[in-house]
Copies of this chain bind each other. A is one copy, B any other.
Amino acid sequence: VLEIAFHPDRAGDVPFARQLADHLAALIGSGRLAPGVKLPASREAAASLRLGRNTVSAAYDMLAARGLIAARVGQGTFVAPPSAAASLPGGAAAAVTPREFAWGGLFARHPPAGVLPPAITRSETHGVFPFDFRGGRIEARALPLADLRWAFAAPFRTRTRLQELAAHHDPRGWPPLRREIARHLASRGLACEPDDVMVVGGIQQAIDLAARVLVDPGDAVAIEQPGYFGAALAFAGQGAEVLGVEVDDEGLRTERLARILRLRRVKLLYVTPATQSPTGAVMSRARRDALLALADEHQVPIFEDDYDSDLRYAGPLLPALKAADPAGQIVYAGTFSKVLFPGLRVGYVVAARPLLERMVAARWVGDFGSPVVEQAALATLLGTRGLDRHLRAVRRLYAARLQALLAALRRNMPDGVRWTEPRGGHQVWVTLPHGIDVDRLQQAARTRGVAYTRGELFHLDGRGAEHVSLAFSALEPAVIAEGVARLGALVRQHLPTSRPAGRHSSSGVAGRTQKGRAHGTR
């Protein structure tokens, strides 16, 4: 009996029958299924492929319609001779590209990502807009050009220097950079040794490595809702069931988490305590204590994403959760990409040795480690205090832009629109009135040159359409003012007419704030 290897793409939106038909058509087109070969009966095929019989029958029908297979009475179904397909009127067989390899049937059942959300793909992230509030952009004019040029040329200044770099092989990262990172982390309350640090290609890689090392398909992982989409994708990419835990203006709602932990065994908790992603809430001390107590009680490890803590403009910056972690239960991740530029791709992980060793091994298998030139350059920039100088400068710059954005929102937004007043980061989280047509609003905004990130990106379940994320750090105050003026006018135009206007009507709190942040690549 002919055996057909076929692994349907369960992530995509192509029906299985269609996928199976295309797969078989490609096999026939390539000659692998030659004319005259008998196909298994639909019942047999359904059993061996673990598909419904109706699915197989539908696929066979499609192939018969294309003239690629034919039934013979009392004998079964056979691959048709090539002439049969070619002689069909109207080129019905044109859908078959004879020499195209049938990748569709070969994809893994649990790939890291089948289909990325639309907000990440080109349709949403491309295009040039004069008033571009989408995340992941920074003010390149503020970058320390001369310091960076010096730092990146330094590895090539002498052969001795380069010889040393060229011989570097440690997947944990370039030792001088790990020393500088350990020193830098004192500002977050972390006392760690260079050997507690692994250099990674940004926080996203830290999350992915933790997921690969800790998560089996079917394991539950809890993240904030709304929350960082990259974390949700990385955990889901390992087959995790991702559970959302609500946030408010004190960060993660730990009483909700407690309920989940009573009901479910959770493998990992992912949190952004310094600047909640995307609302920007600073996690309160009470919530921090509750989180740590819950994690201890249920012996669940915590992944602390501390992505934006270097950009604090107002209010106290609490130490990292990891600063009080004698048991080694917290995986801590930070990055330099947020304060320099996203394409830098240098971040770091601090974790207990048993876990760190696993993550290092996974890193070796994945890509051997980070490029050494940028590691050496960053070690130079940190060692010469170039990063500290830059941080002081961008904190002033971004703080002014944040104030410009908040002022523009107050000036231009109609009643019923709410927004957060973040103390750090790159972004403000705006909540539109109920009932507004968000698709038409976005369309109109783009026509007027205004782009932003839609709130669905930060939700696991397609909700969040009434939210908008406005990133401010790459925009001049005048651009911010004009962009928000245009957006405000459009929101006013698109307000649902049936609904009485009432400022902050849904919460009843004037100027109610959560604290916003930038999204974008880590």
Chain A residues proximal to chain B, CB less than 8 Å: 3, 5, 7, 27, 30-32, 99-104, 106-116, 120, 125, 136-138, 140-141, 143, 145-146, 148-149, 152-153, 155-157, 159, 162-163, 165-169, 200-202, 204-205, 208, 212-216, 230, 233-234, 237-238, 265, 267, 296-299, 301, 326-329, 341-346, 352, 354-355, 358, 361-362, 364-374, 377, 521-522
Inter-subunit contact B162/A5 (CB<8 Å): no
Task: Report chain B residues within 8 Å CB of A267.
Answer: 106
Check if B343 sits within 8 Å of A165, measured CB to CB. yes
Return chain B residues, CB-CB under 8 Å to A215. 108
Contact A104–B372 (Cβ < 8 Å): no
Give every chain B residue within 8 A of A101 (Cβ-Cβ).
Answer: 299, 301, 327-329, 352
Instruction: Count this chain's copies in the assembly.
Output: 2
Tell me whether B361 and A114 are in contact (CB under 8 A): yes
The contact of A233 among B103, B233, B365, by CB within 8 Å, is B365
A207 to B141, CA, bound (A): 38
* A-B pairs with beta carbons under 8 Å apart, 12 shown: A32-B299, A99-B326, A101-B328, A112-B365, A113-B358, A115-B361, A145-B156, A162-B341, A169-B521, A201-B201, A204-B366, A346-B371
Known: A111-B212, A344-B373, A374-B371. A166 touches B140 (CB 8 A): yes
Contact B297 A32 (CB under 8 A): yes
Contact B166 A102 (CB under 8 A): no
Q: Are B113 and A362 in contact (CB under 8 A)?
A: yes
A145–B169 contact, CB under 8 A? no
A14 CB → nearest B CB, Å: 11
In the complex, what distance in Å separates the CA atom of A213 from the CA atom of B107?
6
Closest chain B residue, CB of each to CB of A31? B296
Query: Within the complex, what minimum Cβ distance (angstroms) separates A117 from chain B?
Result: 10
- Most chain B Cβ neighbours within 10 Å, of A107, A297, A377: A107
Beta-carbon nearest neighbor of A330 in chain B: B101
- A361 CB contacts on chain B under 8 angstroms: 111-116
- Beta-carbon contact of A3 and B265 below 8 Å: yes
Contacts of A152 in B (CB 8 A): 152-153, 155-156, 373
**Bound-state Cα–Cα, A167 to B346, Å:** 16
The CA-CA distance from A32 to B367 in the complex, in Å, is 38
A368 to B299, CA, bound (A): 31
Q: A125, A201, A352 — which one has the most chain B CB atoms within 10 A of its CB?
A: A201
Q: Tell me which of B99, B115, B201 contacts A327 (CB under 8 A).
A: B99
With both chains docked as a complex, state the minimum distance between the C-beta of A367 and any C-beta of chain B, in angstroms. Answer: 4
- Please, which residues of chain B bring their CB within 8 A of the CB of A169? 125, 136, 342-343, 521
Q: Name the residue among A201, A265, A368 with the largest chain B CB count within 10 angstroms.
A: A368
A77 → chain B, closest Cβ, in Å?
20
Given contacts A149-B156, A162-B143, A169-B136, contact A366 B214 (CB under 8 A): no
Least CB distance, A517 to chain B, in whole angstroms:
18
Q: A30 CA to B325 CA in the complex, in Å? A: 13
Partner of A355, one of B30, B103, B143, B208: B103
B112 touches A366 (CB 8 A): yes
Contact flag A140-B111 (CB < 8 Å), given A101-B301, A344-B373, A365-B237: no
**Residue in B110, B140, B368 whose CB lies within 8 Å of A522:** B368
Q: Is the CB of A103 within 8 A of B342?
A: no
What 8 pairs across the A-B complex have the smallest Cβ distances? Answer: A343-B372, A149-B156, A205-B367, A166-B341, A113-B361, A140-B163, A101-B329, A345-B371
Across-interface contacts of A140 in B (CB, < 8 A): 159, 162-163, 165-167
Distance of A399 from chain B, by nearest CB (Å)? 20
Inter-chain CA distance A268–B287, complex, in Å, is: 49
A152 and B374 CA atoms in complex are apart in Å by 10
**B residues less than 8 Å from A162 (CB atoms):** 140, 143, 145, 148, 341
Asked if A299 and B102 make an inter-chain contact with CB atoms under 8 angstroms apart, the answer reads yes
Give Cα distance in the complex from A216 to B213, angstroms. Answer: 16
* CB closest chain-B residue, reference A351: B103
Distance between Cα atoms of A298 and B377 in the complex (Å) = 49
